[in-house]
A and B are shown apart, each in its own frame.
Chain A
Amino acid sequence: MEPTDSNIIDDVTSGDYGSKYGFRSDIDTEIIPPGLNEDVIRIISAKKEEPLWLLDFRLKAFRHWQKMTVPDWAHLDIPPIDFQAISYYAAPRQKKAPGSLDEVDPQLIDTFNRLGIPLEEQKLLSGMAVDAVMDSTSVKTTHRAKLAEMGIIFCSFSEAVKEYPELVQKYLGKVVSYADNFYAALNSAVFSDGSFVYIPKGVRCPMELSTYFRINASGTGQFERTLIVADDDSYVSYLEGCTAPMRDENQLHAAIVEIIVENRAEVKYSTVQNWYAGDADGRGGVYNFVTKRGLCRGVDSKLSWTQVETGSAITWKYPSCVLAGRGATGEFYSVAVTRNRQQADTGTKMIHLASDTRSTIVSKGISAGHSQNSYRGLVKVAANADNCRNHTQCDSLLLGATCGAHTFPYIDVANDSAIVEHEATTSKISEEQLFYCNQRGIPTEEAVGLIVNGYAKEVMNKLPMEFAVEAQKLLQITLEGSVG
């Protein structure tokens, strides 16, 4: 039987997560009982052998968090979250820190291999340094020695606290304060691990740094923290991948990413997010409530966010750039795909505080099934920031009659020399384009894949090579199903 348009769309939009990513590793995990109070925070801090100032930071954040209420302004339908039912710490159980790869639980290695994140030779060959964060703790950081030669610090957050406390203390919470928002406060109180990167003056990091996040244990939340500092004239490209196994219940992921970019430095941050999105009826899936913000405080500094969001039951995040240094540049490239019952409210904030700052926003939303996909972005130009320039383009593609695509840009201009532009379009794949492809012998399902790929190309091109391949695959798995 010839596939009709409607079942092609169904095929295309009901791709299978289970067979590809939805495995569950039976790794011996140490979990503290669910619940959140000051004792839990003390336990987390003690387990990680943290200094007192960090415990104080956590407690301060926790006390502030208790006074806050759950925000509800997003275009999202979030079932109430019981923060006492979550376990705030789950670490793969290990007797001592692994000295080499051989000592790491082989099953864990296997987990990462199945994810297509070969920690071992492949990565060495591809010249990438990886920090894998499983549930809450950082498992292994490769390539450290080579990076250390150049003075680059790339390690897990807990190691950084122990080995470079003065650096961590100097930068922690400086971009995203513990009081920033509800989930940032929660993260500041209970964060367990993450990555720390420091690129010294004048160093171009020779390889892509990469973190892979995975939630494995059930009933846990993941609260990691990434802190990247790029000193004067340095450059780093940082990749972040996320995944989680299939589970019926919802899992909470509330991370913080802080980036500080000094004079003439450049940071490129790429994310491929594929947390478990829940099943076709919207059961299960990860709540991805993340605060990501970069402070371009140096002259002519540059920060570029690229994200491919295909997973999570609910995505709620706005990777932002605070352009505080004269001539700083902020970029945001995003592809967000939602299908089934997924919801996404994502976008960016570009805050122009200094003169001659520029920002570019390109956001591509693709919605299918019963999903709701919103772009929300803020472009703000302060009164004393002259000659600022922003261009925003956000397009939405609708696949199916029951999905929603929404655009909520906020544009605030307080300086008369600024040029700020916003453009948005929403449409479905045009009959003409499909017909054109059909006429040339391309079946409808392939044509849909082709058109979607072309639509997302502008963003995909911004991803580093290694990620672009994976992201392309992800987009196919997410949208194409049997297609292609």
Chain B
Amino acid sequence: MNSHSAAMDNSLQQYLDLYDANSRAIDAGCGAPLLNAMRPGARSALEGARLPERGDEGYERTSVNDMLAPDFGLNISRLPMPVDVTASFRCDIPAVSTLMAFVVNDSFVPSRTLEERLPDGVRFMSLARAARECPELVEPYIGLGTGSCPAADLNTLLLQDGVLLHIGRGVRLQKPLQLVNIFSSSTDMMAVRRLLVVAEDDSEAQLLVCDHTQDREHRYLSLQMIQIHVAQRASFELYDLEESSALTSRISMLYAHQEADSSLTVNGSTLSGGKTRNDYRLDLDGTGCRTMLAGMAVATGDQTVDNSSEVLHHVPRCHSDQLFKYVLDDKSNGAFEGAIRVEEGAVLTEAYQTNRNLLASSDARMHTRPQLEIYCDDVKCSHGAATGQLDQQALFYMQARGIPQHEARVMLMQAFMADVIATVRPEGLRDRLRLLVERRFHGRSSATCADCGAAHNTDQVCSSSI
């Protein structure tokens, strides 16, 4: 027991030791002075720090410490790992443009097609390369808003590559971009990932991020950070879809800053995975912002989905909505902790939060803690949380009309998720998400783009989604 707890206590230490012994190799593997310069600060911030564990306020269902405890391999010397991404991942969501980027494990995969087709004013590239070639685009934003979070500092400490999406002033993209994160390795592996999005003034863009795992044999852990900066009057939408394997864990931290009159939509859907912890922290820094934060989780088996959100209203006249829905089956565990904080002086704030959960089995567990912290009087804020099960009367009604029970349940669960899916604005994406959710409820996962298979099964798609 003692040795066990001692090992647990030290799960941060192994990374610090790794860094201390290999800091040069890490710097060399990254090759971007801008990113390397951030490591010493992160290292000193981690001195004496500890990773959150169960029992810590806000981590009732997830121990970040335990998630980071196994000795995953880290590819710090950047050994090339050949993966034929184009062969196994051909995603054909109709409305998604062909502007698609890949991250295999922790490395950005350069693609000539992508570079050639990118419109003017848009950069969608390796973060390490961007930090070398155009540091002026990266530097002002890369250090923003991580606060005092040990997992975020650990990400900074070990980060070697990531993705930059930069949308220039006034550029409006018609079709969503896509980023596919792939795990594929011959050993257990941990990937340190980062996505930096900067939407300059008056720009408009949408990004779909898919997390996939290619095999079912190895354990993977993604320690990822997403930083989003939305400048004045800009609009950005992020659709983050996790469809990995039961052996893949994910610790994701999203930090967003919004300037005046900007608009941000974040939709995080967890369809399959092992343990998932998503932290969202959205800072509304400019007046007149609109924010939509939505999340959906469909969990089965031993899956754990833990979402924690914090929307901070610093200034007057912003509007934020949060909507999180969970369907939990088998022995799955769900947790939601969502906060709205309205600071002194942030008058005329409207902030709403909704959390609804369905427990589909007697072994599933849900923990929810919506929070309001309000330091200002002229506001309209509300939150609501409910945990329950499918309406027996509705089920009976449908069965009485000849719909088999299983079908009826799926239809009701599908309907339950409808409003989260409705937050997805591009029509093609919305339809695809609806289909994926339905497939998920039918017990099929789509862990690869090939499985997702819209192009191969169009007829079936149509018939089953109507």
User: A residues within 8 Å of B by Cβ?
Assistant: 73, 75, 383, 396, 398-428
Contacts and interface: CB of A to CB of B under 8 A. Distances in A.
Contacts of B372: 396, 405-407, 424, 426
Interface of B: 57, 60, 344-345, 347, 357, 359-389
Contact of B367 (A402, A411, A416): A411
Nearest to B328: A416
Contacts of B385: 409, 411, 420-422
B388 A426 contact: no
A426 B362 contact: no
24 contacts: A398-B376, A401-B344, A401-B378, A403-B375, A406-B371, A407-B371, A407-B372, A407-B383, A410-B368, A411-B368, A412-B60, A412-B365, A412-B367, A416-B361, A416-B364, A418-B387, A419-B389, A420-B387, A420-B388, A424-B372, A424-B384, A425-B381, A426-B381, A428-B379
Interface centre among B57, B377, B381 (most CB of A within 10 A): B377
B381 A411 contact: no
Nearest to A395: B382
Interface centre among B362, B368, B372 (most CB of A within 10 A): B372
A410 B347 CA distance: 27
A426 B386 contact: no
Contacts of B386: 419-422
A426 B374 contact: yes
B377 A411 contact: no
Contact of B369 (A400, A410, A414, A425): A410
Contact of B344 (A402, A408, A414): A402
A409 B344 CA distance: 22
A73 B359 CA distance: 30
Contacts of A423: 382-384
B377 A413 contact: no
Given A420-B387, A422-B385, A404 B362 contact: no
Contacts of A404: 373-375
A409 B370 contact: yes
Contacts, number: 119
A401 B377 contact: yes
Contact of B365 (A407, A414, A421): A414
B48 to A, nearest CB: 20
Interface centre among B60, B371, B386, B387 (most CB of A within 10 A): B387
B85 to A, nearest CB: 40
Given A416-B364, A426-B379, 13 more contacts: A398-B377, A398-B379, A401-B378, A403-B375, A404-B375, A406-B373, A406-B374, A412-B365, A412-B367, A416-B362, A422-B385, A426-B381, A428-B377
Q: Which secondary structure characterizes the binding site on chain A?
A: strand
B378 A428 contact: yes
A428 B60 CA distance: 32
A366 to B, nearest CB: 12
Nearest to A404: B375
Q: Which secondary structure characterizes the binding site on chain B?
A: strand
A422 B384 contact: yes
Contacts of A427: 379-381
Those 10 A-B pairs whose CB atoms lie nearest each other, nearest first:
A416-B359, A398-B377, A407-B372, A419-B388, A422-B385, A421-B386, A425-B382, A428-B377, A413-B387, A426-B381
Nearest to A416: B359
B257 to A, nearest CB: 24
Contacts of B379: 398, 426-428
Contacts of A426: 372, 374, 379-382
Given A401-B344, A407-B371, A409-B370, A424 B382 contact: yes
A399 B377 CA distance: 7
B362 A411 contact: no
Contacts of A416: 359-362, 364, 389
A408 B371 contact: yes
A399 B376 CA distance: 9
B338 to A, nearest CB: 11
Contacts of A422: 368, 370, 383-386
Contacts of B360: 416
Contacts of B387: 411, 413, 418-420
Contact of B374 (A73, A405, A408): A405
Contacts of A409: 369-371, 385
B353 to A, nearest CB: 9
A413 B344 contact: no
A181 B391 CA distance: 40
A401 B389 contact: no
Nearest to B365: A414
A409 B363 CA distance: 23
A396 B360 CA distance: 33
A470 to B, nearest CB: 29
A459 to B, nearest CB: 19
A402 B369 CA distance: 25
A418 B369 CA distance: 17
A419 B358 CA distance: 9
A455 to B, nearest CB: 15
Contact of B376 (A401, A418, A420): A401
B373 A383 contact: no
A415 B344 CA distance: 40
Contacts of B364: 416
A428 B386 CA distance: 25
Nearest to B369: A410
Contacts of B368: 410-413, 422
Interface centre among A383, A404, A405, A413 (most CB of B within 10 A): A413
Nearest to B360: A416
Contacts of A417: 362, 389
Given A407-B383, A419-B388, A413 B366 contact: yes
A410 B387 CA distance: 12
B370 A407 contact: yes
A363 to B, nearest CB: 12
A423 B368 CA distance: 13
A383 B359 CA distance: 12
A417 B390 CA distance: 9
A75 B341 CA distance: 13
A460 B370 CA distance: 27
